[in-house]
Amino acid sequence: MDWHPAPDEDPLFRLTVKFATGLAPAVSGYRWFRDAERNDIQGELAGWPPGPEFAPRTAGDQTARRAGRGFLTAIPVIANLIANIGGAGGSPFGGVAGARKSQDPENEVHDFPVMWAAPGAVARTVPWQLDPGRRPDGYGTDLVVTNRRLLFLGTRSDTSDEADVLGEIPRESVIEAQQMEFSKISADVRITFADQSWIRLFTGNPKIAERVAGILCGNDQALPESALTEAQRQGVSRFMADLPDTAQPPVYIRLPSGILLVEASAPSKAGKEIFSTAGTLMDASGKPAQPKPGDL
């Protein structure tokens, strides 16, 4: 592990994230940082280096943009095929939905803020390295969720050095998390804090976005590895051995029946920063299990 939790802290999951990117024609490829009056605040964020500045596209630009949008529908199809191949028998896999009708057009169609934060708000404390337009080439960001906090880690693709701890937010500051389906492969998640500020992140897979939202909202019971039986740990080792070396650490979910759901994601060939997700179900003895009514 390239970072170290506190002695009384249980890591629950870790995943690669970045600020999301607009999908609708007027905002495609763009992102903004707003206060509650919809003013651009990126120049107010302490310690942030200069970044790209965007303006919504005109009607003429949007028409030209739409002509090339057919490619967008290909990614979900390819990603869905990969997400459903190569996992353990009986495994539940994350399907990849296409972009659906926006439920929040003000923030997804006409504008696309990835930070919504009044002065002094929690959302303003997240690290600038989450912005692909600011961070160096080869630098990535991971989100770690523990029983105590959210941590943002910085990683370098060309080194095995320990990750940079870029920032942290107490878990109690999070009051809501929602998968935002009107997004690239429906893989965005919006995390809202107690002061009503929020951030919008791209997770690389719709199942990951759904799982992040479920865990942060308390709908999914995430377990630390220490809660697994020895037989389950051995089962997890066998499961992970069938996945690529680039797979992210697994997530453990206790289903209502008590069955353990194990999920792990790995970079997909469907596109850059897109992930395929595989999963398996097991009982306390580490053997394959079938879901009970209400589990999935």
Q: What is the pLDDT of residues 170-198, one digit of tens each?
A: 999 999 999 999 999 999 999 999 999 99
pLDDT at 271: 85
CATH 2.10.109.10 fits 11-220, yes or no: no
Nearest to 216 by CA among 151, 145, 279, 153: 145
d(CA 185, CA 22): 12
DSSP state of 192: E
pLDDT at 96: 38
pTM, two decimals, is 0.86
- At 240, the pLDDT band (50, 70, 90 cuts) reads very high
Exposure class string for 242-257: b at 16+ Cβ within 10 A, else e? ebeeebbbbbbbebee
Q: Which helix (H) or strand (E) holds 74?
A: helix 70-83
pLDDT tens digits for 107-143?
Answer: 999 999 999 999 999 999 999 999 999 999 999 999 9
Mean pLDDT on 1-11: 86
C-alpha gyration radius of the chain: 19
Using an 8 Å Cβ cutoff, are 49 and 128 in contact? yes
Mean pLDDT on 232-246: 96
Ordered by start, the domain boundaries in the chain are 11-220
d(CA 88, CA 35): 46
Mean pLDDT on 240-265: 96
Report the percentage of the chain scoring pLDDT > 70: 85
Nearest to 235 by CA among 113, 88, 100: 88
pLDDT at 27: 97
Q: Cα(first)–Cα(last) distance of the chain, in Å?
A: 31
